Structure 1
Amino acid sequence: MKKLILSAAIVLGSFATYASSVPNNNEIVKTINLQEEYTEVKMEEVPEAISKALKTAYPDAILDKAYINDKKEYKLDITLGDKKGNLFADENGKWITK
């Protein structure tokens, strides 16, 4: 009789562990990186408006490379003193914040 009661307790106890639900806290996070495609252009192909805007805003800046995308936005790699950086402008010489 003791074995029967002990067996029943074990069986009922094992059902209790399977009946409990485990909360699912897995969150799915999607990260999408949008990278614009720029193609390098020759220094002679940079519009005069951009060159003038660069000389007005940063007189000591040296234009190293220039790139253009499909929206006619220019990415300018410049050197200012011992620092290098990027500027973005449209074809009319207006600065774009990115």
Structure 2
Amino acid sequence: MRKLFFATVLSFVGLTAIAQEETAELQADETTVVTATQDFEEISVSDLPEAVTAAVAKDYPTATVNKAYKNASEQYKLELSLEDGTSGTLYADAEGNWIEI
């Protein structure tokens, strides 16, 4: 009876520890900042901060930045196209963090 009780407790503790680790990972990956929509002015792609271009290269290695825009809050709007022909718009701050506007 002791062995059964001990095995049950040990299993419960192990499952609880696994569940906590998965939740922590999901929360660590989320980096969303909501800001008010502001007017963006077009800038040259070469004027993007290195952190922003590094974030694009890391997260979207097949992407090409077609146009770049900047607002007064040092936020960047990027129009990207991928090798497969799809395109989209992403927003980033000056440190290369993805934001949602």
Percent sequence identity is 35
Structure 1 unaligned residues grouped into runs of 5+: 1-33
Superposed, 1:30-41 pairs within 5 Å as 35-41=37-43
After superposition, the CA RMSD in angstroms is 1.2
Give the superposition deviation at 1:35.
4.8
Higher RCO (CA 8 Å, separation ≥ 6 residues): 2
Count of paired positions: 65
TM-score (norm 2): 0.61
TM-score (norm 1): 0.63
2:45 paired residue number: 43
Structure 2 unaligned residues grouped into runs of 5+: 1-35
Instruction: Tell me which structure has the larger Cα radius of gyration.
Output: 1
Q: List structure 1 segments (4+ residues) > 3 angstroms apart after TM superposition.
A: none
Q: Which one has a larger percent helix, Structure 1 or Structure 2?
A: 2
Give the superposition deviation at 1:36.
1.9
Structure 1 residues 70-97: Cα deviation after superposition (integer angstroms, max 9, x where no partner): 1000000000121111000000100002
